[in-house]
Every structure is written in structure tokens, then in C-alpha cells.
Amino acid sequence: MKLVLATLGVALLAAPAAAKGLTVDDMLAMQRVGDPNVSPDGRWIAFSVRDTDVDANKGRYDLWLVGVDGANLRRLTTVPENDTDPRWSPDGRYIYFLSSRGGGSQVWRIAVGGGEAEQVTRLPLDVGGFTLFPDGKRMVVALEVYPDAKTLADTAKRDEAREKSKVKARTYDSLLFRHWDQWEDGKHSHLFVWDPAKPDAARDVTPGLATDAPTHPFGGMDEVEVSPDGRSIAYVIRNSGKQNAWQTNTDVFLVPADGGKAVNLTATNPAYDFAPTFSPDGKWLAVKQMKRAGYEADRERISVIEVATKKVRVVTEAWDRSAGDLTWSADGKTIYTDTDNLGNHSLFAIDVATGTPKLLVEKGTNVTPRVAGDRIVFAKDTLNSPAELWSVRADGSEPRQVTRFNDERVKKITWGAYEQFSFKGAKGDTVYGYVIKPAGFTGGKVPVAFLIHGGPQGSFGDHWHYRWNPQAYAGAGFGTVFIDFHGSTGYGQAFTDAINGDWGGAPYEDLMLGLDAALAKYPWLDGSRAAALGASYGGYMINWINGHTDRFRALVCHDGNLDERMAYYDTEELWFPEWEHGGVPWEKPEGYTKHNPIDFVKNWKTPTLVVHGALDFRVVDTQGMSTFTALQRKGVPSRFLHFPDENHWVLKPQNSRLWHQEVLAWITRYTKK
């Protein structure tokens, strides 16, 4: 078979419509504003901004500073390397950050008043993350080490020897042997206390962890916090030993900062515990907890642990939402959080004593709330605006935009007008969706791009997306429709749970009913010229659709499973299919055959573009190869786009550009009049 050059698909794009609205080049030009970090006095915000260098095929990050009122915006760093993760010194004089200057990753700092940045740590290993102690001198740093290594230098020597070796073979004795897009290399993230008085040394406060199973003790610095008095460190580890591939149990530990035995604070909970966050007085530790072991999409409740007694109290048992980021108010009476909420991602204030939620910001996608005096600072985006920093008063009044990095770029784009709608879906439940008009729409009938989200416990809502941005389809002349089917988040836990064991049932029914409802409500949508597109679970659903309806003129399957049975043996996080399909396939084969796309290949007839990344260890690329093989053998028009350097997502700028060109070319070709 001849290899068809991917670039040939570019000529098929509908240039007139695409030129008016959002394009992939517009997205690549946007500056990406990072999470806010508020100064100790509540007056300033430090944050990172990513600029995309398309020629270099990567993003570059610099640090910025702005007043909470939006005044005095200035850039702190301007180097070709990446400067990220700003953290304020307790006295507010310095901003500490991670930098790749010099080729590695170390902690640097820069004076807020001006001057050159200076390197703080010079450890023999890359620093993966850090957090400062209240004394402003010591810090907790995350380092990848071999658990049996005596010193950091020992780990560095082993790394050097491995790099020089001509033998690249790997051997494993347990799962997980690879995860997401990385092969396990025998090293694990440990936490070390670093003291500037002993700059060449660091003391491991997590010794002995992960010695019998290749997994990381914690999920990142979001899972680590130092107590306000500096005497304790709270952190999260996965606590299932060699069963880590099929169990979801994590626990929150508390360890003395000066050394000593770590105490498991959540040993009685067999499911996920994460995001430990100390109250300002240090008496309480807020955590997020799931209750059902083995289920990664259970409701995330906020609990508080009394540090002195270790007693746990669930705060939000009555709130049917999953908490996101956790931030305490200065008086310790309120916890601010964000959550999926009816097709938006909203900000809430939770009363710690009663668990009562108060809605602060509803519409759009609002994340990472941070207290800044009498205001809450957060990042906000919508379907027609990338993330910028905003603030609101603690009672939800007086919303105010703080940064405007992309205002001029946004003004130059013709956006597709959008609105949310609802309909009666499967089981008689109310289901929500969105519809977007083509950019510059003036009337008539338009083709339909029908987008299907992944997860499957996820949501397509009022959110700016750099990989699946609905406005990119509106910009290419499509009416765009997306449905939050049964299994989606933000509509209560029962609605999310409804997809368990029913992947091709109620969700498929919702999608078909939702498209019907949109066609009936919006007569400008031409249902005879519709294309369906999806990734991950959405890719699975594309394969399921191909076997059950021919209502679409074209399909796009990105990183989707063809055979749920074989997918179990391919993937790395086994807890996911075991929960979703009711057990392991040799004991519960019916769970894997109930809604299996491979059993309906005989019905396939719709032209399909198949996309897959070679570094996708969640949905392995052989699933995409199998899908393409089936299509070709059946004589169905099809095309295979394979990225050898991408994982479950397409992240590199030039790859993203090609992805958009190929996808839009494919659906444009088959939805013409």
C-alpha cells in the first residue's frame, strides 16, 4: 500500500469559512495564562505565561506580575528557557520558581523589586517541584531517585551509566511497568527537605516508599503541603503496593519535618484521598475523598481532619458535586473550590461548619481560586476566550477581569454564537448540550460537526480547549453540536454513574436524541451533512456509531478502542476497565462483550479518519491500527494519521496544526453539498 502524504489533505479545507473564524494558527498565537499565586499581603499575583514557538515546536514559559486590581502588569523573566511554578517568599520580597536554565530543572528566585534571577538549589538531580517552609529558607523538593540509593549522587551516577550503556533493554517483575506515556525506569518521586545551610544535601522524608512496586509516592506538588508552623509535611502516596495497577487507594500522610515516622491519616478509607490543604491556623487539614475503591470518577467530597486528634469529618456529604481545587478563607470558616456544574465549571464557597455551598461564579470555566484580601482571584475561560485571570468579591459580587493578554487577538476573530439547550434523553432524564453557529453565519443551511467528549466521565461545556475547541469547527463553517450524555460530570453523581456497564446504551441514546433535538430546534443545521468526531471514550463511541447508524457522512476516531476485551490487556490503569465493565475479562467476559465495537465491524460503511499517538499507553495505538485495518479490508474510505511522538493528546504545535488540517479536511470533504 502506498503511503499517502498527510499534507495532501490540506488542500481540501474550506478556505472562505475557515479564514473568518478561529483557526489552529489563532490558537497557537494565544498566550496561555497560568494559575494565580497571590502575595502574602494579598496585593499582587505572580503567574506564568506560555508563548508558543511554532518553529521550535514547543512552548516557552516566563513569569509575570500584576496587581490584584489589574494594574502594574510587568514581566519578571525573559529567557529562552522555561520559568514556571512561581511561589512567594513569606515576606513577599522574592518569588521562587522552577527554571530549566543551564539544562536542568532547579529552584531559582528573583526579587520583586527588580534585579537578575539567582539560582537557589544546585542539586545533582532535576527538581520536579517544590514548596517553601514558613521560615522562607528551607523547602520541600521532589526528586526522582532510586529507592535503594544511599545518596542523590548515587542516583545521578546510575542515570549517567544507564545513558552511556549501549543496552537499552528493560525488565519488569510487576505492574505498572509503564504509565501514560513513560516507561517506568526504577526511580520514584520522593520528598526531600532542603536547607540552604547544607546546600549540597537533602534529607528524604519519604524513605522506603515504593520499593516493591514501580509507582510514584505522590501525584505532584498539589499533593504536598507544609503546615503553617513548619513542623509537619502532609503528602499523598498510592498505597497499594504491587496492586497499584488495579486499585485506586491513595492516602494522606503526615510526617514531622525534622524527621520521624509518617502517620497515615486516611487509612480507613479504601479509595482516593488527595489534595491535603492546611487551614490558616494549622489545626485542620482539608482533603478530598472518594468512597468507592476502584472507581476513579466517584464523587470527590471535602473532608477536614483535626490535626491534633486525627478525627475525620466529611463536610460536603450532602453536596452532589465533586470538589476541585481547595483554598481556605483567612478566618478558616470557608473553603473555596471549583467544580463541573451543568455544562459550566463554577466557583463555590463551602461553609466548613455546615457544608452549605454558595455559588460565586457560575458561567464559563473558572478554576484555582485564591484568596487576595477581600477578593478571590481565579482563572477564567469560555468558548470564545482563552484563560485570563479574574477576581470577584468573597460574596460573589463585582467580578473583574485582571489580565488581558489575549484581548486584541480575541477581537480580531469572528466567533460563532453559542447557546446551551436541553432535551429529554435516555431514561427520561434531562440532558444538556451546546450548539454553536458557524463564524459569520448569515443564514441558510450548514453542515454539522458533532463532537463527543472523552472520559467518559467528563464534560464538553463552556470551556476553551486547545485540542478539541468547538470554535475551530465553527470557524471552518460548521454548525457545532456537543452533548453531555449519561456519564458526564456536573449533573450529580447518579448521572455520572449511569454509564458504568452501559457504554453503548444510554450514552449512545443521548447522543442520537441530542442531535435530533438540535436539528429540530435549530433549522439552520443540515442533518443530512453531519460528521461525528471523538477522542478516547469519544473515539470508542465513533467505532460504536459506525456499527449502529449510517446517519453521518464522515467520522473521526482519535485514540479510540475497537476491542474492549483486548484493550484491557493493553492499557496500564486496570482499575478503570475493571470498574467500568464489572470485573476482569476472564471472570466477567459479558461486561467486555456487552457493547464491544469489534462485534459490529460487519456493519461499518461510513468514511473514517483514524488518528492515534504511538506514546498513548492508555489507549494503545494498536487499537487505532486495528480500526484502520478493519476499514480498509471492508473497503470503507479511510485514512490513518499516526503520531510517533504524541501520547493520548496531540501537544506539539506543528503536530497540532497538522491534526487540525487533516481533521477539518476530512469532514469538509464528505459534508459538501
**Contact by Cβ (8 Å): 119, 69:** no
**Contact by Cβ (8 Å): 405, 49:** yes
Euclidean distance between CA atoms 445 and 650, whole angstroms = 32
Look at residue 212 and tell me whether its pLDDT is greater than 60. no
**What are the distances in angstroms from CA 548 to CA 452, 454, 601?**
16, 19, 10
Closest CA to 350 of 328, 372, 380: 328
Query: What single DSSP character describes residue 5?
Result: P
Q: pLDDT, tens digit, for every residue of 636-672?
A: 999 999 999 999 999 999 999 999 999 999 999 999 9
Which residues, in sequence order, are CB contacts of 171 under 8 Å at separation 6+? none
Q: Are β-strands 301-306 and 312-314 bridged in parallel, bridged antiparallel, or unpaired? A: antiparallel
Look at residue 211 and tell me whether its pLDDT is greater than 90. no
Euclidean distance between CA atoms 103 and 105, whole angstroms = 7
**Residue 627: all three cell numbers together:** 480500526
Q: pLDDT, tens digit, for every residue of 152-176?
A: 999 999 999 999 999 999 999 999 8
pLDDT of residue 11: 37
Q: What are phi and psi of 631, to 5 degrees?
A: -60, -45
Taken in order 251, 255, 257, 258, is the CA torsion positive or negative? negative
Burial class (CB in 10 A: 0-12, 13-18, 19+), 459: buried
pLDDT of residue 1: 38
Closest CA to 444 of 530, 517, 551, 526: 526
Lowest mean pLDDT among 196-205, 425-434, 474-483: 196-205
Strand order in the sheet with 301-306: 273-278, 284-289, 301-306, 312-314
Euclidean distance between CA atoms 448 and 523, whole angstroms = 12
pLDDT of residue 142: 95
Instruction: Between 102 and 52, name the one with better pLDDT.
Output: 52
**Residue 116: all three cell numbers together:** 537578575
pLDDT of residue 16: 39
pLDDT of residue 218: 55
Closest CA to 505 of 548, 534, 453: 548
pLDDT of residue 581: 98
**Residue 482: all three cell numbers together:** 456537543
Look at residue 313 and tell me whether its pLDDT is greater than 50. yes
Superfamily for the 6-24+410-670 domain: Alpha/Beta hydrolase fold, catalytic domain (3.40.50.1820)
**Per-residue pLDDT band at 83 (split at 50, 70, 90):** very high
Q: How many other C-beta atoms are found inside a 10 Å radius of the C-beta of residue 598?
A: 19
pLDDT of residue 214: 38
pLDDT of residue 21: 96
pLDDT of residue 249: 93
**Per-residue pLDDT band at 629 (split at 50, 70, 90):** very high
C-alpha angle with apex 238: 234 to 240, nearest 5 degrees?
135
pTM (2 decimals)?
A: 0.95
Look at residue 96 and tell me whether its pLDDT is greater than 90. yes
Closest CA to 296 of 507, 575, 571: 575
pLDDT of residue 208: 66
Share of the chain above pLDDT 90, in %: 91
Q: What are phi and psi of 318, to 5 degrees?
A: -90, -5
Query: At 577, which helix (H) or strand (E)?
Result: helix 575-580
Q: pLDDT, tens digit, for every residue of 175-200?
A: 989 999 999 999 989 999 999 999 98
Euclidean distance between CA atoms 201 and 239, whole angstroms = 28
Look at residue 10 and tell me whether its pLDDT is greater than 80. no
pLDDT of residue 333: 98
Q: What is the mean pLDDT of the chain?
A: 94
Look at residue 367 and tell me whether its pLDDT is greater than 50. yes
pLDDT of residue 8: 36
**What are the distances in angstroms from CA 388 to CA 189, 340, 365, 368?**
32, 19, 11, 12
pLDDT of residue 219: 66
Query: What single DSSP character describes residue 459?
Result: -
Q: Are β-strands 58-67 and 44-53 bridged in parallel, bridged antiparallel, or unpaired? A: antiparallel
Residues involved in catalysis: 536, 616, 648
C-alpha angle with apex 115: 112 to 116, nearest 5 degrees?
110
pLDDT of residue 209: 63
